[in-house]
Amino acid sequence: MTSPERPAAQAVAVAGLPCLLDPSGAIFVPGLSILVVADLHLEKGSAFARRGSLLPPYDSQATIAALADTVGFYRPEIVVALGDSFHDRRGPERLGSPERAGLARLVGGCRWIWVTGNHDPVLPPSIGGEVAADWRLGSLVLRHHPEAGGRTELAGHLHPVAKVVLYGRGVRARAFLTDGERCVLPAFGAYAGGLNACDRAFAPLFPDGFTAHVIGRNRIFAIPGSVLCRD
Amino acid sequence: MADLIVVEGGAEPDIRMLELGQDLPLAGHMGALSMPAIYGLIRDHRTTLVFTNTRFQAEFTFQELWRLNDEVLPIAIHHGSLDVEQRRKVEAAMAAGRLKAVVCTATLDLGIDWGDVDLVVNVGAPKGASRIMQRIGRANHRLDEPSKAYLAPTNRFEILECRAALDAVAVAAQDTPDARSGALDVLAQHVLGRACAGPFELSAFYDEVRQAAPYRDLPYEDFEAAVDFVATGGYALRAYERFAKIARGPDGLWRIRDGRVAQQYRLNVGTIVAGTMLKVRLGRSAGPGKPLVPRRGRVLGEVEEGFCETMSPGDTFVFAGETLRFEAIHEDEALVTRAPPGTDPMIPSYAGSKFPLSTFLAARVRALLADPAEWDRLPMGADQWLRQQSRRSLIPAAGDLLIETFPRQKRHYLVAFPFEGRLAHQTLGMLLTRRLERARLRPLGFVANDYGIAAWCIGDVGARAKADPAFLPDLFGEDMLGDDLEDWFDESAMMKRTFRDCAVIAGLIERRHPGQEKTRRQMTVSTDLVYDVLRRHEPGHLLLRAARQDAATGLLDVKRLGQMLSRIRGRIRHKPLDRVSPLAVSLILEIGRERVFGEAADDILAEAEAMLLEEALA
């Protein structure tokens, strides 16, 4: 499943741990063979359809295909999904059968940890894997909701995107935000929108500023948080 | 039925160019030089309508006229962004004959015939013969007296355009654009509306829809696809049968599922998707030194959210005829205060006219340009300007395309003058930069106006054109409307914007209503993401077709660009120069005041990244 023209990942250290920031939005920790993804928001499309917005019913398919591609590339021993893996509690039961089978293949292929999030506080045993409130790698905590304070962590929840404007032209793209101690991952899901990195929700997490690793078309760009723009 | 009475004759319109005793600038659209003359005309007439092409131009003109208004003539302003109450007041004062002049935009083009208007002044480019006739027609409704009007160009190109428009009016030529065919997103909204009104039978409804002229030729398959879209989204993957909004009952009639569908319809009905607007409210402080109290004070009108986001607190701008100080954005309102008297407003950048130069007028401008014998009729420096152009570069024959190349400030410029209107030129610029990229000339950006485009590269585009005679004909080849257009089209931000509008009109996503919080990202979905997923999984979907049709006609003018490329085949005149030509200056001057276009998302990120390195090394 590896694609030959896959854009290169960017190496950074979070809390001293060497990590690869993948253009898919995932983080791979090579030394421990762990792949981390955040905010898959599976079945967001059907959650909207239930309320009368009949969005194209291909988001779970697209998200699972991207996940399979990334897992196939790194072949990790452990995958940690950092919460909000489903858009709502009823998400797992709405999953179509091809998507259900595709997800089961992934979950069955390695050790799979579902960290719970605010959208999916409970996950049914039928989806396989292990369910946990967080996951620890030494001093580094993997959790859904980032917590301000001196802790080192990998987290999701906020869906960061970075906006860069130069010479009157703007680019808005998903981004990893990190200060070397904490990293907030972009949302992985096909319909998961974004929150501008300049939003005040990020400020308490990075009191000394952050670098945004912005996912471009052909590679990842490291851009200082201070030059980013609001929407 | 009443008899049709044809009236012969009637007075010819008395319409002329507003000539000043000095030359007009090479670029710019504000017409500051003309203001004293316009003020004089207002003073000497009973009631004057001053038309402008944009709201910003209207605000600027109004400000300038009042700066000159030593006699305190009653001059008012009227445009679509002003508060309704304020507009009604102006209209009432006009009808009562209490105003000497009204500065207005296209909102007063049609149908409003109040007051005893005896003069019309049109500031800026006329853009089309029919448009200018319509505006002139606002003056003097007595059949036996002429309508009196002045055209006031604001730069040298507009002198040519005004001259061409005057010639067109003299022969009563019309250039009303063709009516467009019915859009599929609008049809989808109508289908749901019809179902909300009561049960319908499919084939009878089809016949009914085709009675509307824009849908006369609607294929049954498209009609059916629209009904299917409304029912379950119209996807090949039939995942939403259980969420169907409308369904066919056992009696063969289609009905809405329940009352909630009708409620949702009513909240989202309408086919105009405006950019999010903010109310401009004159803030009131609770006391000296205290902060402004939201929701108190007078509402002056509305501005685009994007406009406010370019401002910082303390910036001043002109709106509703006043210089205002921007204070803050509070929910859906921009809070402002009156700036102290004498404050220089930071006038917002001129976004240009929304109406592109008509095909008909463009052909007349090209003919005028190509014939030096006609230049004597061009006042205010335009004739010298063209004579300099013919000495320093060349004047293209009416059917030819002039392309100039020259170096300037470490960049290599390519400038072309097709005279096909802003939209067609923007599309041309997007496609040309892709091709220049492929030719490894490293284009950096381009600007377009109604008359031409200028693109700049790191690579020496002039040297390439000189060395290879096939280079420019290939670059401007008609095949750019094939794969290049397709490739760019689907990726472009413009296409995503069009898709969003179609998605709202067709009812795929709900409108954002005033007062709704902006940051509820979990509750909303970005149509850009939906667009990407739909394009990959169902490229032929009804909504994508609707968006492509909309963009091709309304935003890209693809048809006109195609006609131009075929017209200039074998007729490209390349002029390599060592510096910028008189004609090209007017385009180059637009850089910095017009938005610069280009794709190159990764280039912008790479430059921003380089800034970090500089910071680290400093």
Q: Å from B317 to nearest chain A CA? A: 20
**Is the CB of A222 less than 8 angstroms away from the CB of B609?**
yes
Cβ-defined contact of B525 to A54 (cutoff 8 Å):
no
Chain A closest-CA separation from residue B606 CA (Å): 7
Of B510, B521, B606, nearest to A221 by CB-CB distance is B606
* C-beta atoms of A52 and B260 within 8 A: yes
B131 neighbors B177 (Cβ within 8 angstroms): no
Contact between chains at B537 and A61 (C-beta distance less than 8 A): yes
- Per DSSP, the three-state class of B467 is helix
Yes or no, beta carbons of A193 and B525 under 8 Å apart: yes
Out of A57, A96, A168, closest to residue B596 by CB? A168
Is B529–A191 a contact, with Cβ atoms under 8 angstroms apart? yes
Tell me whether A200 touches chain B (CB under 8 Å): no
d(CA A107, CA A93): 16
Residues of B in contact with A169 (CB under 8 A): 445, 596-598, 600, 604
Nearest Cβ partner of B608 from A56, A223, A231? A223
Which residue in chain B has the smallest CA separation from A172? Answer: B601
DSSP string, A138-195: TTEEEESS---SS--EEE-SS-EEEEEEETTEEEEEEEEEE-SSEEEPPP-STT---E
Interchain proximity B526–A193, CB inside 8 Å: yes
With CB atoms and an 8 Å threshold, state whether B541 touches A56: yes
Contacts of A167 in chain B (CB under 8 A): 445, 596, 604
User: How many angstroms separate the CA of residue A138 from the nearest CA in chain B?
Assistant: 31
Facing residue for B609 by CB, picked from A173, A221, A230? A221
Q: Which residue of A has its CA nearest to B537?
A: A58
- Report the residue of chain B nearest A162, measured CA to CA: B605
Give yes or no for A173 touching B (CB within 8 A).
yes
Q: Which residue of A has its CA nearest to B595?
A: A168
Residues B207-232 as b or e (16 or more Cβ within 10 Å = b):
eebbeeeebeebeeebbebbbbbbbb
Adjacent-strand bridge partners of B381: none
* Token duo for residue B190: 């109508």
Q: Check residue B54 and report its DSSP letter.
A: S
What residues of chain A, 4 to 43, have a C-beta less than 8 Å from chain B? Answer: none
- Interface size between A and B, measured as CB pairs under 8 A: 132
Burial class from Cβ neighbours inside 10 Å (0-12, 13-18, 19+) for residue A34 reads buried
User: Is B605 in contact with A171 (Cβ distance < 8 A)?
Assistant: yes
Residue B486, min C-alpha distance to chain A (Å)? 18
Among A46, A230, A231, the residue with its CB nearest the CB of B239 is A46
Listed residue (B577, B145, B524, B107) closest to B301, CA to CA: B107
| Cβ pair A171:B601 closer than 8 A | yes
Which residue on chain A is closest to B230 by alpha carbon? Answer: A54
Rounded mean pLDDT of B440-445? 83
Cα gap B16→B151, rounded to integer Å: 6
CATH no. of A10-227: 3.60.21
Q: Any chain B CB within 8 A of the CB of A192?
A: yes
- Cα of A218 to nearest chain B Cα, Å: 7
Chain A residues with CB inside 8 Å of B615's CB? 224
Residue B545 φ then ψ, to 5°? -65, -40
ipTM: 0.89
Res B353: pLDDT: 47
Mean pLDDT, residues B561-578 taken together: 91
Q: Is the Cβ–Cβ distance between B300 and B331 less than 8 Å?
A: no
Does the pLDDT value for residue B612 go beyond 80?
A: no
Whether residue A133 lies within 8 A of chain B, CB to CB, comes out as no
How far apart CA B587 and CA B26 sit, in angstroms, is 9
Residue with tokens 């659209």: B29
Which of A165-179, B273-287, B382-396, B577-591 has the lowest average pLDDT? B273-287
Q: Given pLDDT bands bounded at 50, 70 and 90, which one contains residue B28?
A: confident
pLDDT tens per residue across span B210-262: 999 999 999 999 999 999 999 999 999 888 988 999 999 999 999 999 998 99
> What pLDDT digit, counting tens, does each position of A33-44 carry?
999 999 999 999
What chain A residue is nearest to B245 in terms of C-alpha separation? A52
Q: Specify the pTM.
A: 0.75
Interface test with A, best of B411, B521, B526, B535 (most A CBs within 10 A): B521
Confidence bin at B280 (pLDDT 50/70/90): confident
How close does chain A come to B609, measured CA to CA in Å?
5
How close A125 comes to chain B (CA, Å)?
Answer: 24
Across the interface, of A56, A170, A224, the residue whose CB is closest to B534 is A56
The DSSP element (H or E) to which B101 belongs, if any, is: strand B101-104
Nearest CA in chain B to A43: B239
In the prediction, which pLDDT does B322 show?
Answer: 75
B158 vs B127: CA distance, rounded Å: 9
A20-74 tens-digit pLDDT: 999 999 999 999 999 999 999 999 999 999 888 999 999 999 999 999 999 999 9
A 143-172 residues inside an 8 A Cβ radius of B: 159, 164-171
Rounded to whole angstroms, the Cα distance separating B69 from B600 reads: 49
List all residues of chain A from 65 to 94 with a beta carbon under 8 Å from chain B. none
Q: Is A62–B601 a contact, with Cβ atoms under 8 angstroms apart?
A: no
Residue B529: CB atoms within 10 A of its CB come to 21
What six digits make up the tokens of B413?
């410029």
Residue B125 or A93, more confident: A93
pLDDT band at B288 (very low <50, low <70, confident <90, very high): low
Distance from CA of A158 to the nearest CA of B (A): 9
- Nearest 10 degrees: Cα torsion B89, B90, B92, B93: 110
Q: Is the pLDDT of residue B617 over 90?
A: no
Residue B556: pLDDT band (50, 70, 90) is: confident
Decide if pLDDT at A19 tops 90: yes
Query: Which of B239, B261, B508 minimises the CB distance to A57?
Result: B239
The pairing of beta strand B246-248 with beta strand B254-256: antiparallel
Q: Which residues of B touch A171 (CB under 8 A)?
A: 601, 604-605
Q: What is the DSSP string of A19-53?
A: EEE-TTS-EEETTTTEEEE----BTHHHHHHHTT-
The per-residue pLDDT for B363 is 87
Whether residues A173 and B235 touch (CB distance < 8 A) is answered with no
Pairing label, strands B101-104, B48-51: parallel
> In a mutagenesis test of the B interface, which of A42, A53, A159 is the best target, namely the one with the most B β-carbons within 10 Å?
A53
> Is the CB of residue B507 less than 8 Å from the CB of residue B230?
yes
Contacts 24+ apart (CB under 8 A), B388-392: B388/B582, B389/B581, B389/B582, B389/B583, B392/B577, B392/B581, B392/B582
What local confidence, expressed as pLDDT, does residue B206 receive?
97
Average the pLDDT over B88-100 and give the result: 88
Residue numbers in B near A230 (CB within 8 A):
309
Residue B10 has pLDDT above 70, yes or no: no
Q: What is the pLDDT of residues B162-221, one digit of tens each?
A: 999 888 888 877 777 667 788 999 999 999 999 999 999 999 999 999 999 999 999 999
- Mutation target to probe the A interface, by most A beta carbons within 10 A, among B227, B499, B525 is B525
Q: Where are the domains of chain A?
A: 10-227
In contact, A187 and A174? CB cutoff 8 Å: yes
By C-alpha distance, the chain A residue nearest B614 is A224
Choose the closest CB to A216 out of B521, B598, B605.
Answer: B605
Q: Tell me the shortest Cα–Cα distance from A15 to chain B, in angstroms.
A: 21
Tens-place pLDDT, residues B313-366: 677 777 777 778 888 777 677 888 888 877 666 654 434 445 677 888 888 889
